[in-house]
Amino acid sequence: MNALLALPVGLPVAGAALALLCRRSRPAQRAISTGVLVAVTGVALVLLREVEASGPVAGQIGGLAAPLGITLVADLFSALMLVFASVTVLTVLVYAVGQRGTDVHRGVFHPVYLLLTAGVCLAVLTGDLFNLFVAVEVMLAASYVLITLGATREQVRSGMTYVVVNLLASTLLLVAIGLVYAATGTVNLADLSVKLGDVPGGLRLALALLFFVVLGVKAAIFPLFFWLPDAYPTAPTPVTAVFAGLLTKVGVYLVIRVETLLFRPAFPGPSTLILAVAAITMLVGVLGAIAQNDIKRILSFHIVSQIGYMVFGLGLFSLAGIAGAVFFVLNQIVVKTSLFLVCGLVEHATGTGSLARVSGLARRSPLLAALFLLPALSLAGVPPLGGFVPKLALVEAGFALDRWAVAAAGLLAGLLTLFSMTKIWTGAFWGNPEPAAAGERLQLPGIMVGATAVLVAATLAVGVAARPLYDLSERAAAELLRPDGYVVEVLGR
Amino acid sequence: MSLALAVAAGILVSGGLYLVLQRTLTRVVLGFGLLSHGANLVLLAAGGRAGAVPLVDGRRGMADPLVQAMILTAIVITFGITAFLLALAYRSWQLTRDDQVEDDREDRRIARLATRRGRR
Amino acid sequence: MTGPSRSPILDVGSRAVFHTVLVVAVYLLCSGHNAPGGGFIAGLVAGAAFVLLDAANDFDPAARRGRLPPEVLLGAGLAVAAATGLTSLAAGATFLESDFVSLSLPGFGTVKATTALVFDVGVFLLVLGMVLAVVDRLGEEPE
């Protein structure tokens, strides 16, 4: 049982070590990375089935009993996150291998990519607040390296902003953990969820908001999102894709985990503060996207906007709201990643992602246009695609609790999303190709197209399997709101 | 918790924050050193009073060993990240022969737009 | 770049001190389980020994020839650490669970050898590789 929890972390670390040792042989590195990530995906699927059948699963690292030892624990939300994350990481790896020039830099790409995976898995599986900090640091340290991999002038400049902002947040996270430890004397999440109940209400609210701010930086919540649209577009496409799809979502996962499991009593009903922040995040993100003229930058601002929806679901603190947020997170992981992969294909084929300089791609490659259109419509929430269900669920949940303003903001942001997706579509895909390139078919590497197609198929699958997936999300939300099973499984009482 | 620890943490954090807000990368790196020391002191303070050797004879007046372990972990992480920051600062110096964070291109464009509008 | 900055005192001194520092590092590594020390500290101390040697050679890359590249140390350290975790898993225990044997060595008395020591060796290699990588990369002459 324990092995299922340890392997998603242990395997990538071991793989990173091996990849580092054979850094001169790229085929060996590729084989190791692919093998490890396939194995992690397999483990994640088995874990999901196990958790789905019999509730949360916990294990103690080193056999030291909770709350003293470090706990690994999977409930439905973390198991679902693990499955979606591992599938995404694996597909992007295949894409990166297909793109020439991504994994060459001194043989560093593969080991660091695997460490990133280990960090993501640990962040999702950990049941210990300090270990959570370590996981976030492992993930971010790997991301620092990946985002500045080319060491070009632009990357160093924007990478610096990224690193400094995230380091400040990490330091604050450490302080926040110290304060929680001072207040309760434990860092085990399950133990905290019991003991924080005895902490005075004002102090509890202060700690809850401190964590909201600190993790909000990682999740790019307004007003702490400014680093994201600046840093993400400069990295190589596969790196941006995995960051866009995963890192901020792990941030959202942590916000949801901490605010529900630990600070549930601090939020007896919908939190107006969190909802207001969510509404502003949605609108500011999408308005920023409309102002941009480069595909990668448009998509980067959309990340922020979509984060707003997830926070909206959390802010309602109702079953329907959190279920919608969970579904939204899962859907976004595949949709956002596949959009960035398509954007990478456009840049690969034409040498630029600027809407002013690309046009008529649909004529030159109908397949590419289709690969863009499906996730783009899903992002905008057009039925029957996967993005429609969680948006509908969230807006309904908002209306059910009479939070009209934020639900309306959600609808408006959805409309504007559709508008900016149309902007990319008309700018880059419709119209006539530039005269120089007219009639010429686009040359696209098969592996990259294949990997993108797999992920686009996954976004379709989310739409087709919306019912069972929503049921799972609802069960996950129920577990989050009433974590008795989680606590019993970890503490054994 | 002793007042001295709190004051020391406060001084470290304010000094660190001042340095982090500078435009020179070397100062930013040094600032992070100070900031993380401040955070470590907060952790130390969270562990309560100093006490007897932990876990040897146990029970009475034992110091809290957990915060020490957490601080050590944080130090290790800071060590790695500081090395990375230094490498980044060095690379930036290699590329631009300057130690300052460059202006964002977008920011510069917007600033230019604003001055042009103002003149009109 | 050899020049006037090469100091004979540092040169001789570093050679005299180098091995002593390494022995101290190994001592710290072995005593780490029950006393102050451990893989991280030992790695830093051993790294300091190499940095001293480099400083005496004026960070001349030629003097480093024949040394293992830092990436190999990093990889080996990470491999050892990950392997201890996965081995305990394979042996049916929990991830990273440690075990120990008591050995009676002639001249030493009874010595407890724990599997945590193997993990610490991994940490030691990792930290040593890290220090050497930092010195190597940041000490590079800009082109």
Helix axis angle, A201-219 to A248-257, nearest 10°: 170
For residue A90, pLDDT beyond 90: yes
Q: Which among C127, C110, C94, C101 is positioned nearest to C28, based on CA atoms?
A: C127
Residues B37-53, mean pLDDT to the nearest whole number: 83
From chain C, the residues in CB contact with B79 under 8 A are: 130
pLDDT at position C21, please? 92
pLDDT at position B58, please? 56
pLDDT at position A438, please? 59
**Minimal-distance CA residue of chain C relative to A3:** C89
Cβ separation B80–C138 shorter than 8 A = no
pLDDT at position B17, please? 92
Cβ separation A141–B80 shorter than 8 A = yes
Higher pLDDT: A64 or A39? It is A39
Q: Which of A71-75, B57-61, C135-139 has the highest mean pLDDT?
A: A71-75
Contact, A126 vs A489, CB < 8 A?
no
* Separation between Cα atoms, residue B14 and residue B6, nearest integer Å: 12
* Separation between Cα atoms, residue C84 and residue C28, nearest integer Å: 20
Degrees, nearest 5: CA angle A409-A414-A420: 125
Number of CB atoms found within 10 A of residue A437's CB = 17
The 10s digit of each residue's pLDDT in A379-398 is 888 888 888 888 989 999 99
For residue A359, pLDDT beyond 70: yes
Rg (CA), chain B: 21
Which residues partner with A58 through β-bridges? Answer: A73
Which residues partner with B52 through β-bridges? Answer: B62
The 10s digit of each residue's pLDDT in A323-346 is 999 999 999 999 999 999 998 888
Specify the amino acid at residue A490. Answer: V
- Token output for A218: 């990682």
Higher pLDDT: A384 or A316? It is A316
Kindly indicate the confidence band of residue C1, based on its pLDDT and cuts at 50, 70 and 90: very low
Number of domains in chain B: 1
Q: Name C70's Cβ contacts closer than 8 Å, sequence gap at least 6.
A: C129, C130, C132, C133, C136
Contact, A239 vs A301, CB < 8 A?
no
Q: Which of A339-343, B6-10, B53-57 has the lowest mean pLDDT?
A: B53-57
**Minimal-distance CA residue of chain A relative to B99:** A157
pLDDT at position A493, please? 65
- Number of residues written out for chain C: 143
Q: Is A14 on the interface with C (CB under 8 A)?
A: yes
For residue A85, pLDDT beyond 90: yes
Residues C94-99, mean pLDDT to the nearest whole number: 72
Q: Name A471's Cβ contacts closer than 8 Å, sequence gap at least 6.
A: none
Which of C94, C98, C126, C134 should we substitute to test contact with A (largest number of A Cβ atoms within 10 Å)?
Answer: C94
Which residues partner with A354 through β-bridges? Answer: A294
* Separation between Cα atoms, residue C36 and residue B24, nearest integer Å: 38
CA atoms within 13 A on the CB side of B90: 16
- Token output for A48: 């999901």
pLDDT at position B57, please? 58
Residues B32-49, mean pLDDT to the nearest whole number: 89
Cβ separation C97–A6 shorter than 8 A = no
Higher pLDDT: A60 or B38? It is B38
The span from the first CA to the last CA of chain B, in angstroms, equals 61
Q: Identify the domain containing residue B62 by its residue range.
A: 3-119
pLDDT at position B1, please? 56
- Token output for A376: 């783009």
Q: Which of A455-459, B53-57, B74-78 has the lowest mean pLDDT?
A: B53-57
Specify the amino acid at residue C109. Answer: G
Q: Which among A428, A450, A410 is positioned nearest to A98, based on CA atoms?
A: A450
Specify the amino acid at residue A29. Answer: Q
For residue B119, pLDDT beyond 70: no
Contact, C113 vs C100, CB < 8 A?
yes
pLDDT at position A268, please? 82
Average pLDDT, chain A: 87
Closest Cα in chain A, distance from residue B53 (Å):
18
DSSP run (H or E) holding C105 = strand C100-105
Residue written as token pair 């970890």 = A490
DSSP state of A430: S
Give the strand pairing for A71-74 and A57-60: antiparallel
Q: Is A435 on the interface with C (CB under 8 A)?
A: no
pLDDT at position C5, please? 61
Give all chains having 3 or more CB-to-CB distances under 8 Å with chain A: B, C
**Minimal-distance CA residue of chain B relative to C133:** B83
Higher pLDDT: B89 or A46? It is A46
ipTM: 0.88
**Alpha helix (H) residue ranges in A220-316:** 227-231, 237-242, 248-257, 272-291, 295-316
The 10s digit of each residue's pLDDT in A179-192 is 999 888 888 888 88
From chain B, the residues in CB contact with C137 under 8 A are: 87
Which of A166, A167, A186 should we substitute to test contact with B (largest number of B Cβ atoms within 10 Å)?
Answer: A167
Cβ separation A141–B81 shorter than 8 A = yes
For residue A103, pLDDT beyond 60: yes
The 10s digit of each residue's pLDDT in A192-243 is 888 888 888 889 999 999 999 999 998 888 888 888 888 888 888 888 899 9
Q: Is C97 on the interface with A (CB under 8 A)?
A: yes
Number of domains in chain A: 1
Calculate the alpha carbon distances from A63 to A261, A263, B68 in Å: 24, 28, 21
Q: Identify the domain containing residue A74 by its residue range.
A: 2-491
Chain centre distance of CA A225: 14
Q: Name A16's Cβ contacts closer than 8 Å, sequence gap at least 6.
A: A110, A111, A112, A114, A115, A118, C78
Higher pLDDT: A265 or A110? It is A110
**Which of C130, C138, C143 is nearest residue B86 as measured by Cβ atoms?**
C138
Residues A419-447, mean pLDDT to the nearest whole number: 77
Residues A445-469, mean pLDDT to the nearest whole number: 88
For residue A95, pLDDT beyond 60: yes
- Token output for A332: 């976004």
* Separation between Cα atoms, residue A52 and residue A141, nearest integer Å: 32
From chain A, the residues in CB contact with B66 under 8 A are: 181, 187
The 10s digit of each residue's pLDDT in A138-179 is 999 999 999 888 778 888 888 888 898 999 999 999 999 999
Residues B87-100, mean pLDDT to the nearest whole number: 81
* Separation between Cα atoms, residue A61 and residue A134, nearest integer Å: 15
pLDDT at position B62, please? 75
Contact, C117 vs C127, CB < 8 A?
no
* CATH assignment at residue B71: 1.10.287.3510
Which residues partner with A126 through β-bridges? Answer: A72
Contact, A234 vs A300, CB < 8 A?
no
Q: Which of A129-138, A208-217, B50-59 has the lowest mean pLDDT?
A: B50-59
For residue B55, pLDDT beyond 90: no
For residue B11, pLDDT beyond 90: yes
Kindly indicate the confidence band of residue B35, based on its pLDDT and cuts at 50, 70 and 90: very high
Which of A64, A154, A160 should we substitute to test contact with B (largest number of B Cβ atoms within 10 Å)?
Answer: A160
The 10s digit of each residue's pLDDT in A243-260 is 988 999 999 999 999 999
Higher pLDDT: A437 or A262? It is A262
Contact, A433 vs A442, CB < 8 A?
no
Which of C131, C136, C138, C143 should we substitute to test contact with B (largest number of B Cβ atoms within 10 Å)?
Answer: C138
Average pLDDT, chain B: 82
* Separation between Cα atoms, residue A254 and residue A189, nearest integer Å: 12
Residues C86-101, mean pLDDT to the nearest whole number: 75
- Structure-derived torsion over alpha carbons of residues B105, B107, B109, B115, reported in degrees to the nearest 10: -150
Cβ separation B86–C142 shorter than 8 A = no
Kindly indicate the confidence band of residue A282, based on its pLDDT and cuts at 50, 70 and 90: very high
Residues A298-310, mean pLDDT to the nearest whole number: 91
Give all chains having 3 or more CB-to-CB distances under 8 Å with chain B: A, C
From chain B, the residues in CB contact with A164 under 8 A are: 20, 28
Cβ separation C137–B76 shorter than 8 A = no
Closest Cα in chain C, distance from residue A12 (Å):
9
Contacting A residues, span 132-171, partner chain B, CB-CB under 8 Å: 133-134, 137, 141, 144-145, 148, 151, 153, 156-161, 163-164, 167-168, 171
pLDDT at position C101, please? 72
* Separation between Cα atoms, residue A396 and residue A319, nearest integer Å: 12
**Alpha helix (H) residue ranges in chain C:** 8-31, 39-56, 70-90, 115-138
Residues B32-59, mean pLDDT to the nearest whole number: 80
Contact, C25 vs C110, CB < 8 A?
no
Contacting B residues, span 58-77, partner chain C, CB-CB under 8 Å: 72, 76
Number of CB atoms found within 10 A of residue A426's CB = 12
Q: Is A177 on the interface with B (CB under 8 A)?
A: yes
Which residues partner with A294 through β-bridges? Answer: A354
What count of CB pairs under 8 Å joins B to C?
14
Q: Considering all CA atoms of chain B, what is the largest pairwise distance in Å, rounded to the nearest integer?
A: 80
* Separation between Cα atoms, residue A188 and residue A191, nearest integer Å: 5
DSSP state of A491: H
Chain centre distance of CA A124: 11
Kindly indicate the confidence band of residue B120, based on its pLDDT and cuts at 50, 70 and 90: low
DSSP secondary structure string for all residues of A41-56: HHHHHHHHHHHHHH--
pLDDT at position A435, please? 67
Kindly indicate the confidence band of residue C142, based on its pLDDT and cuts at 50, 70 and 90: low
Kindly indicate the confidence band of residue C140, based on its pLDDT and cuts at 50, 70 and 90: low
